[in-house]
Structure 1
Amino acid sequence: MPAIRINNIDLGYDTFGSGRQTLLLLHGGLLSRRQWQQQVYPFSSRFQVITCDLRGHGQSGKSEGTYAMPLFADDVSKLIAALGLDQVVVCGHSFGGMVAQELALMYPDQVSALILAETNYGPSAGLGETLTALLGWWALALTSVERRAQISADRHGHYNPDAAQYLLMEINQHARDKANYLNIFRASISFNSKPRLKYLECPTLLLVGEFHPQSHKPAQAMERLIKHAQLHVVPNAGYLLNWDAPDTFNRMVLEFLEQL
């Protein structure tokens, strides 16, 4: 699989298809570009599709020191430029959605539209949810790798056995390096785009899973704060909505892209 040297790490990526638009897919935290296996072929029949592994994930390199969202965004910006692309539509899930927001805020000329799935604008999305997330991540960090993987699979994969198995595989791989795991966590909790969302000018599609209500209020706030945003609920889906209801997720994304 190809990789490009960016910001002192090798960034793994794949490209599929061709078309008048390019769609860049950014996976969730502690996952990898394999998250998009049910989207790549439906999307690449109409568009060029790029998937990549974010820093510290999948087949991309890790780095010492503190991770922060601007670093992830700069990695992606340099990948876009290295591939000779001027503008892309960016679709990010959860942590990948935070990277997508940061990318669009830092490098607006590179982003023609955003698709933000099951993400939020940072810890200020809700004190209760933030404390729960903090305790959850630290508790997971103190458990065995196998237990961490099982907890994540039970929490987010119970709507779809295939999603549960996928999460088990990914978390088992990514949670083995505790320092890298906590680095990703710190980048997530230090992110706060809320005061800057008013500066986003590109069309934005917000997607949340019907069965993951924790994401609904932040998404509703984001819809109000982003000028050209529209929010849709994916029925019969939870946090990993692109696995729980892939056909519906794909249809909603394609309908949005056709409007651009």
Structure 2
Amino acid sequence: MSVGVDVQHEVQQGVQPGQPGQQDVEYVTLHGKRRAYVKKGAGPALLLLHGLACDHTTWSHVVDDLAERYTVIAPDLLGHGLSDKPRADYTLGGYANGMRDLLTVLGIDKVTVVGHSFGGGVAMQFAYQFPERTQRVMLVSTGGLGPEVSPMIRLIQAPGWFRTIGLLTLPGIRHVETAALRAASGHLTFGPLRKYTRDLDEVADIVESWKDRRTRFAIRHLVRAVIDWRGQIVTMADRAYLSEAMPMAVLWGAEDQVIPVAHAENARALAPDVRVDVLADAGHFPHKDHPEEFVRLLDDFISTTEPAAYNRARFRRMLKAGASAPLGPLAAAAAAEARDETVTSA
């Protein structure tokens, strides 16, 4: 059975006024749903995945610099930004499939995937589902490394959230809220309160986007797929051992108030070979707080690691060996291969 992919390209000037590095937005229709993305530069491909309730503009501070050396693809995930917001599959697996289809239409075979927050969960799912198309993974203040998450995000899946936010984003009320959030972010730039206010401009943008009931619908369904009242449901812990076959880096802001920076150490414990960097004086958006350092770290990660080479036999042996192998999955896989060869010879 074949699935039709209707491809239509348009170009529209970026519609976010005042944003640095304003980009042209292109569109492609996949399976009847229009998806927005930015594509810029030439060289090895980078897929930049934004976080919950954000869009491609979260990468505006770094796209131009990265495009000098790489082909940068920064999509609006379905239900976000300028992409359609239908009644659809908002699971991690569904998003990974959507990214696979987008890359296929764009003629891009393999990528280094960079995911921020919820986008980090999509990045890990993409690498898990499509290891043959993933060269490296960088996770930025990512979900999936522990249950803890901001109570404000947990509330999204609570009964009554949809209607309450509908009231709070009515004209007038919304304008007062967003103006107060941006004022706090812009004026409280130092002192002990800074770690609580540095990301409030992003929160203001999210509140502004929630005036659209379709956006609220998509966000609610997305959150219910990955978070319950106790916190994050989805975890990479049971599959972290597979990272031994793929270069992985983790980047966090030391003052993250959305997902605890302690989760960066969880990554190191789950996957000892992972690179971990924590940026001081940075919150949940370290790529915006320190764009030059972010570009440097990402460029160093790519230039000093070999892209993963997918081998189905090795992947199968790693899965069979599992995370509990005393010598580590790769050593156990090698031992299994040796046993197979011995049996074959016999």
Which bin holds the TM-score, normalised by the shorter protein? 0.7 to 0.9
**1:231 match: secondary structure:** strand
1:1-260 residue pairs with structure 2 within 5 A?
Answer: 1-19=25-43, 21-121=44-144, 125-126=146-147, 129=149, 133-135=153-155, 138=158, 141=162, 142-143=164-165, 144-145=168-169, 146=174, 164-174=200-210, 176-177=212-213, 178-189=216-227, 190-200=233-243, 201-212=245-256, 214-226=259-271, 228-260=273-305
Q: CA deviation at 1:233?
A: 0.3
Deviations 1:190-216 (A, max 9, x none): 533321222232111100101127432
Q: CA deviation at 1:109?
A: 0.9
Q: TM-score, normalised by structure 2?
A: 0.66
The question of whether the paired residues in 1 share the 8 Å contact of 2:52 and 2:219 is answered with no
Structure 1: 4+ residue segments shifted above 3 A: 128-133, 135-141, 147-167
Partner of 2:328: none
* C-alpha separation in 1, matches of 2:294 and 2:246: 20
**1:57 match: secondary structure:** coil
Deviations 1:55-92 (A, max 9, x none): 10111112214521100110001111111111100111
Give structure 1 stretches of 5+ with no counterpart: none
- Pairwise CA RMSD of aligned residues? 2.9
* C-alpha separation in 2, matches of 1:229 and 1:211: 21
**Which of structures 1 and 2 has the bigger CA Rg?**
2
Instruction: Identify the structure with bigger relative contact order (alpha carbons < 8 Å, sequence gap 6+).
Output: 1
Q: TM-score, normalised by structure 1?
A: 0.86
Amino-acid identity (%)? 23
Q: CA deviation at 1:53?
A: 0.5
**2:61 match: secondary structure:** coil
AA in 2 matched with 1:134: R
* C-alpha separation in 1, matches of 2:183 and 2:156: 13
* C-alpha separation in 2, matches of 1:51 and 1:85: 13
AA in 1 matched with 2:155: L
AA in 2 matched with 1:258: S
**2:39 match: secondary structure:** strand
Identify if the C-alpha distance between structure 1 residues 176 and 152 changes in structure 2 by more than 3 Å, giving closer, same or farther: farther
The question of whether the paired residues in 2 share the 8 Å contact of 1:98 and 1:120 is answered with yes
Identify if the C-alpha distance between structure 1 residues 132 and 30 changes in structure 2 by more than 3 Å, giving closer, same or farther: closer
The question of whether the paired residues in 2 share the 8 Å contact of 1:174 and 1:181 is answered with no
* C-alpha separation in 2, matches of 1:212 and 1:37: 20
The question of whether the paired residues in 2 share the 8 Å contact of 1:210 and 1:235 is answered with yes
Identify if the C-alpha distance between structure 1 residues 9 and 149 changes in structure 2 by more than 3 Å, giving closer, same or farther: farther
